[in-house]
Amino acid sequence: MIAAKLRQIAFALGAPRATVDYPLAPRAPHPAYRGRVVVDTEACVGCGGCAAVCPARCVEIHDVDRATRVIVRRLDRCLLCGRCEEACAYGAVRLVADWETATPDRADLVIEQRLFMGMCERCGRCFRPAHPLDRVAATGLVPPPPGAGEEGTWTA
């Protein structure tokens, strides 16, 4: 019996390790691993393609008014299926190989994005302006340059 136990000890000491030093040295995931969802808010145009294909319905689109759209992504409900990344024609949604998403606050897993949508004069459909200055929602009056004509005239 003692010989059998010594054989088991020798076998266990000769075998390679089965565990990793996770907290001290985490292993990198496989490059094809679908991990945390990352949204590039500057590249997003607000088309809603990600919301149309999401099986978990974690992407919600709310139109506040004709020129403002709010997109809320609730990542605590996300299945990490990658359909939103495939549906985004602008490359704004990506799944990165990061799997440490633990947080004590659920609000950390919510991405809220407010978009100023431009209106087409001809058809009335919304689009996102291409130039950053066109994204400014506030409009106002601009004073004319000095010596440009009548006093007190303003242009819109």
d(C-alpha 8, C-alpha 115), whole Å: 65
Percent of the chain predicted with pLDDT > 70: 75
Assess if residue 16 is contained within a domain.
no
Q: Which domain holds residue 91?
A: 30-98+107-135
Report pTM.
Answer: 0.64
For all residues of the chain together, what is the average pLDDT? 80
Tally of domains in the chain: 1
Residue 73, burial from CB neighbour count under 10 angstroms (0-12, 13-18, 19+) = buried
Q: Is residue 86 part of a domain?
A: yes
CA distance 68 to 153: 31
Higher pLDDT, 24 or 107: 107
93 vs 137: which has the higher pLDDT: 93
Q: Between residues 73 and 21, which one has the greater pLDDT? A: 73
State how far the Cα of 86 lies from the Cα of 94, in Å rounded to an integer: 9
**pLDDT of 119 strictly over 90:** no
Let me know if residue 129 belongs to a domain. yes
Residue 4 lies in a domain: no
The verdict on residue 23 lying in a domain is no
Whether pLDDT at 153 is above 90? no
Within a domain: 46: yes
As a residue count, the chain comes to 156
Range of weakest confidence among 49-53, 94-98, 133-137: 133-137
- Mean pLDDT for 37-48 is 88
Q: Which residues contact 109 (CB under 8 A, 6 or more apart)?
A: 74, 75, 76, 101, 103
Residue 51 belongs to domain with CATH number: 3.30.70.3270
